[in-house]
Amino acid sequence: MNYREYIANRIKAEGVSAKEIEEAIAVPPNTDMGDYALPCFKFAKVMRKPPVVIANELAAGIAPDGVIAEVTAVNGYLNFKIDKAGLAKSTLAQIEDEGDFYGASRKGAGKTVCIDYSSVNIAKPFHIGHLSTTVLGSALYKIYTFLGYNVVGINHLGDYGTQFGKLICAYKHWGDKATIEAGGIHAINNLYVRFNNEATEEMEAEAREYFRLIESGDKEANEIFEWFKSLTLAYVNKIYRRLGVKFDSYNGERFYSDKMQPVIEELEEKGLLKESEGAKIVDLEEYGMPPCLILRSDGASLYATRDLAAAYYRKDTYDFYKCLYVVAYQQNLHFKQIFKVLELLGKDWAKDMVHVAYGMVSLEDGAMSTRKGKVVWLEDVIEKCVEKAYTVINDKNPALENKRDIAEKVGIGSVIFGALYNNKIKDIVFSYDKVLSFEGETGVYCQYTCARANSVLQKAGEERFTLPENLSVEPQEYEVVKTLAAFPEAVCDAAEKYEPSIIARYAVDLAQKFNKFYFDCKILTAEPAAKGFRLQLTKAVLQTLTNALSLLGIGVPEKM
Ligand code: ARG
C-alpha cells in the first residue's frame, strides 16, 4: 500500500489536490510524533488561513480507521500514526497473495516504451564500458514490464562505417578463415588493431573501396561483413544469456541505410537543411549547440542521420509512449541535437525521447586503457567475479551442494549490482573485492540475506502462518513492515526517474532492516504468537527481496 496516497485521499482541503498533499507528506526523522507528517504552511496562501488553523481543522475531519491509528495537529503540522498491526497484517497479506508480482502493476497498460541499450559495435571489443548500458537497459526493461508497459528492447548495432572497409582489407591481407573461426571476435579485433598500426596509404585507399563495395551490395564484401557480424553476435549473445539480458530487435545503423532519404527530404522541405563547406547541416546556433551534421560533403550519412531515421522508424513501428536511449554521457550533445532537430521538424513526440545518460566505469587495478588494442573485455570481468565468488563460497561453506551454480549467480549478481548500486550518472571505480563483499552494500549481501531467510523458513517447516488476534509490533519489526510496504513505490520511482539504483538501494535497505530484526528478535525460539508473525515477516522479506533483485537481473540462490 502507498501510505502517502492513502493519507492524502483521506484529507479534504479546499483548493488543494490530493496529489499536492501526497507530495507534501513527509516521513519525519523522529517517528515519536507520528509515522507521516503533513506541513500545512504550504497551503496557507490558497486556503487563506494560518497553518495552525488549517492543521486543527483538517485533524478534526479525519477519524481513525484500520490504517490511520491517530491524527494530531501540532504547530501547523498534521501528524499521522499508522496502525502498526493493521499495516503489518495488510502488507503481509498482500505479499502472500501477490507473490512474484508483489510490486507489479498495470500502470503502463496500453503504452509502449522503446529502450535502446547495449548497442554493440560489430567486430569491436565488448568491453567494460558496455557494462552499464547493458545492465541499466536490461533492468529498465524488466521494471517497465513489471509495471505493465509493453517494452521493446532494441540493440542498435554499430554495424555501419568505414571501419568495416578497413577490416575486410586487413582480412584480405593478413587474415585466414581458420584463425578467425577459432579466435572469433578476438581474432577480428586483432586484425583491426593491426590495420590501425600498420596500414599503408595504399591499404587505406583499398579500405575505402571495400567500404564502398559493402554499400553497393557487392556479394563478397557483404559475405565477409555478415560473417564478422554473426561471430560478434554469437559472442555477445553468450554474455547476454549469462546476464539474463534480452532484446526484441537488433536493427542497427545499417538497417537505416535506405530509410534516411525521407528524413533528409523533410528537412529540406521545411527549410532546415543548410549548406556548409559542401556538407548539409541543421544550424542549431540559436539553441547554443554546434550544427547537427546530416550529410558529409561526399554525400555520406552520419551517426546522427541514422539516429533520426531510427527515431522515425520507431515512432511509426511502435508508436511509443517513450523512447529511451541508455547511452554514456559522452553522447549528451548528440542526443540533445537529435531531439532538437526532431522538435524543429515539428514532431510533438520529440518530448517523449529521453537520453538516459550514465557515467564511466573503470577498474580499480588500472583504469581502462584506450590505447590501441588494450581494453578490458567485459567477459573477463564477469569470469573473474564468478571465479572469485567460487573461492569465497568454497571457503565459507565447503560442504555446499551446487557450488558452481551458486558461484555463477553470486558472481553475475556482484557484477550487475556493482554497476547499478550508484546513481547512474556517477563514474564508478569497479573493485572486485568490494562487489564481492558479504558485508558491504552489495548484491552478495542481499543474496546472503535471502539465504538466511530461507534457512529460517526451512527450519520452521510447516508451522508458520498463524497471526495472533492482538498483534503487537516491535520497533525492529515495524521497520521491516514499513520497508516492505514501500516496495511498490520504489519500483514506480525507479521507472519514473530511469534509475534502477533506487531498487538496488531499496534491496540493501530491506536486507539491513531484516538483519537488524533477525539479530535483535528471536524468531524460531519466540513464544508462539510472536513466532507466527516473525516467520511470516521473514517469508515476506524473502519474497520482496527476490522480486527486487530479479528486477535488476539478479538470481537468488537458496543456500549460500
Ligand atoms: N554503438 C554506439 C556506441 O557504442 C551506441 C549507440 C547508441 N544508440 C543510438 N541509437 N545512438 O557508441
pLDDT, tens only, 325-360: 999 999 999 999 999 999 999 999 999 999 999 999
64-78, 85-99, 369-383: lowest mean pLDDT where? 369-383
Specify the higher pLDDT residue, 298 or 390.
Answer: 390
Strands 361-363 vs 428-430: parallel, antiparallel or unpaired: parallel
Residue 465, pLDDT score? 66
Ligand 1 proximity of 121 Cβ (cutoff 6 Å): yes
Which is nearest to 293 in space by CA: 302, 451, 384?
302
14-18, 373-377, 538-542: lowest mean pLDDT where? 373-377
The three grid cell numbers given for residue 280, joined into one nine-digit string: 548539409
pLDDT tier for residue 171 given thresholds of 50, 70 and 90: very high
Distance 127 CA to ligand 1 centre (A): 14
Residue 29, pLDDT score? 83
Q: Residue 365: is its pLDDT beyond 90?
A: no
Distance 97 CA to ligand 1 centre (A): 42
Distances (CA, A) of 212 to 88, 123, 217, 299: 68, 18, 9, 12
The three grid cell numbers given for residue 518, joined into one nine-digit string: 533477525
Q: Residue 372: is its pLDDT beyond 80?
A: no
Task: Tell me the C-alpha distance between 232 and 163, whole Å.
Answer: 15
* Residue 163 neighbours by CB under 8 Å, 6+ apart: 123, 124, 192
**How would you class 97 by CB atoms within 10 Å of its CB: exposed for 0-12, middle for 13-18, buried for 19 or more?**
exposed
Residue 31, pLDDT score? 79
**In a mutational test of the pocket of ligand 1, which residue from 114, 253, 314, 327 has the highest number of ligand atoms less than 8 Å from its CB?**
327
Specify the higher pLDDT residue, 208 or 362.
Answer: 208
Query: What percent of the chain is predicted at pLDDT more than 90?
Result: 86
Mean pLDDT over each residue of the chain, to the nearest integer: 94
Residue 364, pLDDT score? 82
Across the range 100-105, mean pLDDT stands at: 98
Q: Residue 67: is its pLDDT beyond 90?
A: no
Specify the higher pLDDT residue, 161 or 544.
Answer: 544
Return the DSSP state at 466. Answer: -
* Residue 327 neighbours by CB under 8 Å, 6+ apart: 116, 119, 133, 335, 355, 356, 357, 358
Q: Give just the sign of the alpha carbon dihedral 84, 90, 96, 98.
A: negative
* Residue 258 neighbours by CB under 8 Å, 6+ apart: none
Distance 256 CA to ligand 1 centre (A): 14
Residue 369, pLDDT score? 46
* Residue 362 neighbours by CB under 8 Å, 6+ apart: 128, 368, 427, 428, 429, 430
Closest Cα to atom 9 of ligand 1 = 156
Closest Cα to atom 11 of ligand 1 = 307
Q: Residue 133: is its pLDDT beyond 60?
A: yes
Residue 437 corresponds to which amino acid?
S
Distance 422 CA to ligand 1 centre (A): 22
Task: Tell me the C-alpha distance between 495 and 512, whole Å.
Answer: 23
Distances (CA, A) of 431 to 363, 415, 516, 535: 6, 10, 27, 36
Ligand 1 proximity of 158 Cβ (cutoff 6 Å): yes
Task: Tell me the C-alpha distance between 536 and 544, whole Å.
Answer: 12
